[in-house]
């Protein structure tokens, strides 16, 4: 028996909830589906205020998605420095930054053709 594919909307909703649970900041969803030659359908970008908070955001996302949807990331990198952690869930890639690193790499600017949605924090 094969596992049913989780909807991308459900995955994004749980990721956002995981970020908000530990007060991640400046949450942005970038829809890359209309852009040619992208490796994923969506980016979720957020930032934390320290290495500790970045790791807390990453752990919270993993716990929430695993518990609610029984999904795990295909790949995670950057956790040891916790300045920019990339979590690859195939259809959705989450970028958790420290603010200064986010500003330096400016993914929103690099992927300026993407449809961008800012998430209003619930806290």
pLDDT digits 0-9 by tens, 54-94: 999 999 999 999 999 999 999 999 999 999 999 999 999 99
* Domain tally, the chain: 1
What mean pLDDT do residues 15-20 have?
A: 97
In a domain, 48, yes or no: yes
In a domain, 26, yes or no: yes
Structural domain including 35 reads 8-111
Label the pairing between strands 25-31 and 84-88: unpaired
Please check the confidence at residue 3 and state whether its pLDDT lies above 70. no
pTM of the model: 0.93
Please check the confidence at residue 32 and state whether its pLDDT lies above 90. yes
41: phi then psi, degrees, rounded to nearest 5: -90, -35
In a domain, 66, yes or no: yes
pLDDT of 6 reads: 77
Domain containing 23 — which CATH number? 3.30.460.10
């Amino acid at each position: 028996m094969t596992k049913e594919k989780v909807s991308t909307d459900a995955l994004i909703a749980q990721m956002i909830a995981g970020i908000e649970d530990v007060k991640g900041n400046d949450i942005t969803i970038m829809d890359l589906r209309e852009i040619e030659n992208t490796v994923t359908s969506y980016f979720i970008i957020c930032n934390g205020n320290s290495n500790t908070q970045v790791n807390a955001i990453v752990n919270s996302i993993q716990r929430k998605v695993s518990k609610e949807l029984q999904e795990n990331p295909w790949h995670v990198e950057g956790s040891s420095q916790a300045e920019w952690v990339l979590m690859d869930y195939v259809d959705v890639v989450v970028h958790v930054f420290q603010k200064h690193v986010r500003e330096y790499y400016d993914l929103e600017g690099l992927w300026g053709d993407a449809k961008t949605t800012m998430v209003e924090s619930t806290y």
